[in-house]
Structure 1
Amino acid sequence: MLEQQIETIVTSLCASQKLERDRAVVELNNKIKTLSPEVVQSLQRALINKSLDSSSPWETVHGSLLGLRMVVLNVEVEPEGQFHCEVRAASLRLLTHQEVRVRQAAGEVLGALCQQDGGVTYASCRSQVLELVRSNLERQMTDDDASRSEHESTRQLMEKLTAGTRERRNSGDAAQIFHDTAGWRNLETNMKCLEHMINGCAPKFLPYIDQDLLDLIFTALTHTNRFVRETGFNVCAALVSCGGGEAAEFLETNPMFTFGDQLSRHLGQGLADNWSQVRLASSVATRKFLMSLPAAARERFFPVLLPRLCLNRYYVAEGVRLHSQETWRQVAGSEGKALVEKYIDPVVAYYIEATEADNHAVREAACACIAELALKIARGSVRAHVPDLLHALTVCFSDDSWPVRDAACVACGNFILCFPDESQGSLEVLYPLFFNNLQDNIPSVRQGAAAALSNVVRAYGKTVLPLIMEKLKEGLKGVEGQPSESERYGDLESGPATYGVVKRKRDNDMDLHSNKQMYSCGSLAPKMGRGGGGCSDCRFRRPPQLWEKADGCLYLASELAGIPEAAPNILECLPLMSEAVRHKHYTSHVTLLETLCKTLPHMAKGLSKRVFKSHLHLFLDAIFYALECENALTSSAASQCLTQLSQFLGPNILRGRVEEHNPSYLRALDANNFIAPL
């Protein structure tokens, strides 16, 4: 009966199907404490024998390790007893197994042993585990099945990478490509094993933290392979977690404080890593590091960590952004603004450094953070840094990535508004950049330029209005000259890409897609330079169209209408706006109509009800044309425009003006009011 019970448990744990093994682990976890000592002892022996049987398939070895982990966690045994030592020896041996899941399970078993014996297992296995990590970091060939298998796989891959060298571009770098991107099979699982053991020991691991261990981990944190760096920061997160709790109060003996300068320096490098996964792993480790120390002891490391945490609150990768925002709340609390002001010098230095990063997402986040300095931080703290910050933003204005150009434009507008005296000397350089963004291919860039130019008017008043109004009128009048064939995609030139335009031109060009080097998921792609923009061949940009310039001018007019000094000038331009949207000889006229419908209610509020209603008739034909056009976005914008104007002017006033202008529009107006079919 006993043998049958043991056989049933072992057979389930060692099943060939993963689902069956997982189910068996859950069942064993639920009933292991109800088993008699005889059954447990027999189960221990059976599982150890299965794990050491070299003829067993990997599924059997994997299942036996899963079962041993459950036994270790739920059954009290002597730390130096026979079972404990045999499980430890078996797990160490299996750390070099050919199957990655077996190696992972072996590391988890060693972690469970550390959890039960408080570090005895780590003390016993330390030299072997650290030597495995060290040898794999240096890619030394060790005499085990996994290493021999990896060596053979490497040989085969190198043959493929170097095959047909004459036909392949950059194939001479095949060895370096493999070195930087290979899975580093044993290394990852060895590092994970170290992480499990550290987590298992918890505070009892503190005595084992020394310079040799940190140097080994730091080697992984600066490795060329991003997966190695990510795994290294996961180990680092486990390491710094050991310093929390009661140990945090004894700074003299707390390794987190003793080695804190080295840790913070490497964590700072991880927080600025180009790969989002590495940046996230470092963010997790950084939070644990700071929270493991008393509040008073953290400030020693703020000059390095604070600027990077602050920037990552705007990072494009959602995981990094949200985690950094929560870390900022936990670390800074309600004193975030005061901390930035206190450490303004390293914050500004890092922001400027980030505007020169290879990663366009970092440059975009840096511009957003610089804008935040102008809006939220005490002006006395920022004033001395305004010239340097404006210079960095000016460089970003020419970025090939449009989100960076947009963020830089908005940030410059904020600086001009908050620091008009310090910024006045940069206006000569900034004006052409603002006006260039006002006619950009990307709508949101045009909108950002309009907001920035409105801040220029708010800062300097009527002294800058003549130049800006001249550009606005010029843009509105220019639509008349818009070529009807401008959207045929044959006139591309070098510059940032509008993806859809480039794609339609290049999709069917076989020369561009045949016999070329292939890249995988970005990890093998060439390093993205300042003009990367997210792909290795994004050097295309069509010239700005006249209608796009007019579109930017509509956004600008909407922004200026709310400024008292500029409102009379905008009132004079209303007929020009009306005339600009009457031209329908080009395909994108519906986009210009859409912008008019979006901006008109805001413009009306800026000019006041009394002033605007006498000019409403200028736009009624355009609004109702847009309402009935086939473009869904334009029609929706016209519908919302009528609704907002009705709320602002009053439904009866709007209806009366429409009826006076063209009674045939009433049916469409009523249908829009009641959301009825036309």
Structure 2
Amino acid sequence: MDFSSSERALESLIRRQPPLDDSIQEIASSLLKTPMNDEAFPSLIMKLFDSNNDEKDTIRWEPLAVGLHLTASYLLQVTLHFQNDEKASLQVYQEGPRVPQDSSSHSNKIDIAIQDMDQKSLIEFCAFIIGQCQLHLEHKEPRVRSLVAKVVGQHAKLAISTSTTASTQKMSQELLNQSLDLYQKIEISFYNHISSGPETQGKSKASSGALDDTTGWRALETNLYGIGSFIQATSYKYFEYQSNLEKLLEAIKECCIVHVNRHVRAAGINVLEQMIHAIVNSSGECMDMLLDLESNLRNVIVQVLKVTLADNWSQVRMAASVLCRVFYTAMMEYQESKNVENEEWLTSTFPMLLPRMCLNRFYLAQGVKLYSHETWRILFDRKKSDQHTGLMYVAQHAGAIARYYCKMADADNHVVREAACQAIAELANKIGRSEEYAEYLAPYVVTLLQALIMCFHDESWPVRDEACLACGTFCLAYPQECEPELNTLFSRWTEQLTDQIWSVREDAAVALGDAIEAYGPSMLEKVMTVLKRDLPSAKKQPAMSREEYKRRQNDIDSHTNSQLYSCGSLAPKLRKGGAGRIGCSDCLITREKAPWEATDGCIYLIRELCCRLCSADTKPELLLSDETLLPIMTELVDACRVKHFPQSDDLRTTLWKNLPLIAKALGKQRFKRNYLQMFLEMLMDNLDEKSHATQLSVHAAGQCAEELANLVGRGIFKGRLEEDWQQETFERVMRERSQMTKSIPAEGFSPFGPAEATLAFNPNEVSAVPRPAAFPASAGVPSQPVSTGGFGMTESF
């Protein structure tokens, strides 16, 4: 069924398979031909309902749904007539806050003239519709129930709109009585569902007893949307009609916090959001319900947000994020309009809500993440001159935030644990490296570090990856506090330097680079020992032909009766781990580390050493001289030249991606004089059409050649090529890359694309991708120097 417009809904009804009764199809055809301002239109809607209200077993839900949809559209047009307002639509928050508002009904506004003699007909039509809504309030089809909720709100909106003129006061009162009667029926149904016994809890009446944590919960969800629709329609007058608000709030709180079904939790959150909107529309008359610290509504909202902002379902977390923004902006806008300074309205909730708001800026679901970023800007960047910034509030509540982060680092959901590690790293980066606020976080560093070390044992590699980076950031910010755990951290970093996942290897190298900056020559000596030990490992990789590799990949027996994994489940691969578990090697299903992966990790480590220890401002005791670096680079070339196993192309791909960064860090003259020549033969061989290298390797080699040529000069680069075929290959590659660049727009890159893709358009930049910096620059901390690592990281702001 297509409910995008009245016409399409009727056409879907006619085409429905198996076909509906001839009488229903005839009525639908008549409705298609009848304009909405025709006096016969509501009569045809009533006939559509009546034609489906028989005692047969073949009653279909489609005519009911179309009738309710047409009713909502008709009542909207009548409402627009009385209100004469192009913004008088009723958009119930059912599909999420990111769904755009539908203004199509406004652009085709129909003039429906309601004369005094027609008011009786309208009242009778609405009475009939109210009866249908009561009859189908608990219909087994969720689409019918959702449309009932929409009609409830639109009918109430009409009742309120008709009260503006003296000629329609009587009609308005009768319509309002109808709406209030229906609302009471909805409340009764709502309370009945809430109080249903334990034998039905967790199961759906319409789903044949299936566990119902993923589908609708009978009529409870749509009862909540009906209540929300009524509140949205009646605005602040709702609080005059509601006789027992405390009872309703307690029931809604139970739905939001306790109920097993995610749709019910989200619907309950929506009702609270509509209440806040109603309060805001009261022009300050009802603001005490939000501002009074003892207010029942305020306390319920805070308790609901405390739980639902950390809900395991992204849908509920998103709805809670919307409620959180509405709650805070309502108070802040009132504060600005009245020019008052009582910030206790806001700050009293920060210990509970601020940690959750901070963490959601790192949540995996993009909707929650981006919405939370924008909320942060709205709350703490409203006035750029305001001294009360987000950074200050975070520092002041560092204890509550640290405790919450540690709790989330031990959550059952691996996505939450990953976000917690990123958020902890942000604390170290922004609070720990701020001279003004570093002392606020210092008492909690040991606790946070222990939480990260626990995440080092996680069976989800993204969690281990983020924990690895976060530990390095903490060592930079609080070297003394982290020193007692340095041996454990170094062991974990060097182990992850040889991990099966390339981004884990890279971020382990970044963390080791942070440790060198934090602890100086002693750490550098230990890192160099590991580097010299693991760099030649690719030479020890067992020989394997490409055919044998493909045969193993396509072996059916190897992929039969194996553990299945889901990105959203808690399968064995994604368990937390714990005491006695030592990370990725303890997964139930995994593969052994390959020697070539150790060499691959060392390439990232060499990049970090060059980028950190070869600049003019490097401390003399850490400066990486050619005497030390030249043997390492020679060994690197020898290790990457091997071709006796299929993954050797992957190894060279890593080299070509990082070599331009190494060259820029060393400087044009130094790299050209001492290191360029040793890589040229292997680079050109990779670009040769006869090499049969993988496309990823060829592409990376071409980009590397272009960037190196831009660094040292194309003429010089070409002059260093000793063979004619090498020069011809270089010219061919440059022509191909020139055409490639022209075919790609210079602007419009997706922020979620691969970070290294931007390097092709910024070949002269020394740095690659910035490290995470979740608090905005306006928060009072200068931006930290850009790091060359962390391609897998997502920048917070």
Query: Judging changes above 3 Å, is the alpha-carbon distance between structure 1 residues 620 and 133 closer, same or farther for their aligned structure 2 residues?
Result: same
**Structure 2 counterpart of 1:638, from 684, 688, 701:** 701
Alignment partner of 1:99 is 2:141: yes
Query: Judging changes above 3 Å, is the alpha-carbon distance between structure 1 residues 194 and 572 closer, same or farther for their aligned structure 2 residues?
Result: same
1:534-613 matches, within 5 Å, as 539-562=588-611, 563-564=613-614, 565-568=622-625, 569-613=628-672
* CA displacement, residues 524-577 of structure 1 (integer Å, 9 cap, x when unaligned): 989964259xxxx96222222211111111110111012142422333411111
Query: Judging changes above 3 Å, is the alpha-carbon distance between structure 1 residues 523 and 607 closer, same or farther for their aligned structure 2 residues?
Result: closer
Query: In the TM superposition, what is the alpha-carbon distance from 1:436 to its structure 2 partner?
Result: 1.0
Alignment partner of 1:240 is 2:294: no
Query: In the TM superposition, what is the alpha-carbon distance from 1:266 to its structure 2 partner?
Result: 1.4
Residues 593 and 634, structure 1, Cα contact 8 Å, conserved in 2: yes
Aligned to 1:187: 220
The code of the aligned residue for 1:70 comes to S
Residues 13 and 28, structure 2, Cα contact 8 Å, conserved in 1: no
Distance, in Å, in 1 between the alignment partners of 2:695 and 2:12 is 59
Alignment partner of 1:354 is 2:357: no
Aligned to 1:131: 188
Alignment partner of 1:202 is 2:235: yes
**Deviation larger for 609-618 or 464-473:** 609-618
Aligned to 2:325: 287
Query: Judging changes above 3 Å, is the alpha-carbon distance between structure 1 residues 504 and 353 closer, same or farther for their aligned structure 2 residues?
Result: farther
Query: In the TM superposition, what is the alpha-carbon distance from 1:470 to its structure 2 partner?
Result: 0.6
Residues 50 and 61, structure 1, Cα contact 8 Å, conserved in 2: no
Query: In the TM superposition, what is the alpha-carbon distance from 1:419 to its structure 2 partner?
Result: 1.9
The code of the aligned residue for 2:331 comes to L
Query: In the TM superposition, what is the alpha-carbon distance from 1:326 to its structure 2 partner?
Result: 1.6
Distance, in Å, in 1 between the alignment partners of 2:272 and 2:286 is 20
Query: In the TM superposition, what is the alpha-carbon distance from 1:293 to its structure 2 partner?
Result: 2.1
Distance, in Å, in 2 between the alignment partners of 1:230 and 1:528 is 26
- Is the partner of 1:178 in helix, strand or coil? coil
Distance, in Å, in 1 between the alignment partners of 2:552 and 2:352 is 42
The code of the aligned residue for 1:593 comes to R
Query: Judging changes above 3 Å, is the alpha-carbon distance between structure 1 residues 501 and 313 closer, same or farther for their aligned structure 2 residues?
Result: farther
Aligned to 1:163: none
Query: In the TM superposition, what is the alpha-carbon distance from 1:17 to its structure 2 partner?
Result: 4.5
Aligned to 1:671: 732
**Deviation larger for 236-245 or 646-655:** 236-245
Residues 364 and 415, structure 2, Cα contact 8 Å, conserved in 1: yes
* CA displacement, residues 224-264 of structure 1 (integer Å, 9 cap, x when unaligned): 22232233223333233222234557543458962222211
Residues 95 and 103, structure 1, Cα contact 8 Å, conserved in 2: yes
**Structure 2 counterpart of 1:212, from 244, 247, 256:** 247
The code of the aligned residue for 1:530 comes to K
**Structure 1 counterpart of 2:155, from 107, 113, 122:** 113
Query: Judging changes above 3 Å, is the alpha-carbon distance between structure 1 residues 299 and 23 closer, same or farther for their aligned structure 2 residues?
Result: farther
The code of the aligned residue for 2:303 comes to R
Distance, in Å, in 2 between the alignment partners of 1:572 and 1:276 is 51
Residues 248 and 292, structure 1, Cα contact 8 Å, conserved in 2: no
Aligned to 1:495: none
* CA displacement, residues 409-446 of structure 1 (integer Å, 9 cap, x when unaligned): 11111111122222222211100111011111111111
Query: Judging changes above 3 Å, is the alpha-carbon distance between structure 1 residues 224 and 79 closer, same or farther for their aligned structure 2 residues?
Result: farther
Aligned to 1:252: 288
**Structure 1 counterpart of 2:266, from 214, 220, 230:** 230
Aligned to 2:777: none
1:230-629 matches, within 5 Å, as 230-248=266-284, 250-254=286-290, 258=295, 259-294=297-332, 296=343, 297-333=345-381, 335-377=389-431, 378=434, 379-485=438-544, 511-512=561-562, 529-530=575-576, 539-562=588-611, 563-564=613-614, 565-568=622-625, 569-613=628-672, 614-628=674-688, 629=691
Identity of aligned residues (%): 32
Residues 25 and 70, structure 1, Cα contact 8 Å, conserved in 2: no
Aligned to 2:718: 655
Distance, in Å, in 1 between the alignment partners of 2:317 and 2:590 is 32
The code of the aligned residue for 2:719 comes to G
Residues 316 and 361, structure 1, Cα contact 8 Å, conserved in 2: yes
Q: TM-score, normalised by structure 2?
A: 0.70
Residues 191 and 251, structure 2, Cα contact 8 Å, conserved in 1: yes
Distance, in Å, in 1 between the alignment partners of 2:390 and 2:30 is 50
Query: In the TM superposition, what is the alpha-carbon distance from 1:275 to its structure 2 partner?
Result: 1.4
Q: Note the aligned Cα RMSD (angstroms).
A: 3.9
Equivalent residues, number: 619
Residues 69 and 108, structure 1, Cα contact 8 Å, conserved in 2: yes
* CA displacement, residues 91-141 of structure 1 (integer Å, 9 cap, x when unaligned): 112212343333222222211122123465554334421221232344469
Residues 16 and 59, structure 1, Cα contact 8 Å, conserved in 2: no
- Is the partner of 2:327 in helix, strand or coil? helix
Query: Judging changes above 3 Å, is the alpha-carbon distance between structure 1 residues 133 and 670 closer, same or farther for their aligned structure 2 residues?
Result: same
Distance, in Å, in 2 between the alignment partners of 1:153 and 1:438 is 50
Residues 311 and 365, structure 1, Cα contact 8 Å, conserved in 2: yes
Residues 181 and 524, structure 1, Cα contact 8 Å, conserved in 2: no
Query: Judging changes above 3 Å, is the alpha-carbon distance between structure 1 residues 83 and 601 closer, same or farther for their aligned structure 2 residues?
Result: closer
Residues 248 and 254, structure 1, Cα contact 8 Å, conserved in 2: no
Query: Judging changes above 3 Å, is the alpha-carbon distance between structure 1 residues 90 and 669 closer, same or farther for their aligned structure 2 residues?
Result: closer
- Unmatched segments (≥5 aa) in structure 1: 1-7, 158-176, 491-499
The code of the aligned residue for 2:486 comes to L
The structure with more helix, counted as a fraction of residues: 1
1:31-46 matches, within 5 Å, as 32=36, 34-35=37-38, 39=40
Aligned to 2:767: none
Residues 96 and 103, structure 1, Cα contact 8 Å, conserved in 2: yes
Distance, in Å, in 1 between the alignment partners of 2:120 and 2:278 is 24
Distance, in Å, in 2 between the alignment partners of 1:188 and 1:290 is 26
* CA displacement, residues 336-385 of structure 1 (integer Å, 9 cap, x when unaligned): 22221222222212111111111111111111111111222232322222
Query: In the TM superposition, what is the alpha-carbon distance from 1:327 to its structure 2 partner?
Result: 1.6
Q: TM-score, normalised by structure 1?
A: 0.81
Distance, in Å, in 2 between the alignment partners of 1:321 and 1:610 is 44
Query: In the TM superposition, what is the alpha-carbon distance from 1:502 to its structure 2 partner?
Result: 11
Query: Judging changes above 3 Å, is the alpha-carbon distance between structure 1 residues 96 and 520 closer, same or farther for their aligned structure 2 residues?
Result: farther
**Deviation larger for 235-244 or 115-124:** 115-124
Residues 243 and 256, structure 1, Cα contact 8 Å, conserved in 2: no
Query: In the TM superposition, what is the alpha-carbon distance from 1:272 to its structure 2 partner?
Result: 0.8
Residues 437 and 449, structure 1, Cα contact 8 Å, conserved in 2: yes
Query: In the TM superposition, what is the alpha-carbon distance from 1:79 to its structure 2 partner?
Result: 13
